[in-house]
Chains A and B, each alone.
Chain A
Amino acid sequence: MEIYLVAGILGIIWASLFFYLKRLEARVSELENEGKESHE
């Protein structure tokens, strides 16, 4: 039973990290676009 709990916890940790990286990726793209626009 414990192994299901560990699997669940690790799954949640990875999912949180993944969505954090997705947000970071989006933020970096946004900053790059802002930089391009101000350059133009």
Chain B
Amino acid sequence: MALRGELHGLARLPRTVAVRWVIYAILVALILLHIRLYDEHAFLYFRF
């Protein structure tokens, strides 16, 4: 059972350290591939 605050998508990853770091690396790579720091995409909920 995850603790309060640890209830998020990455809270329960495989125990193997190498697998965990592969997942982190994939996520970082996808973020860097798509992020546009100078063409900012505001969050939808800012308009509410």
Q: Do A and B come from one complex?
A: no
Interface, chain A (partner B; CB < 8 A): none
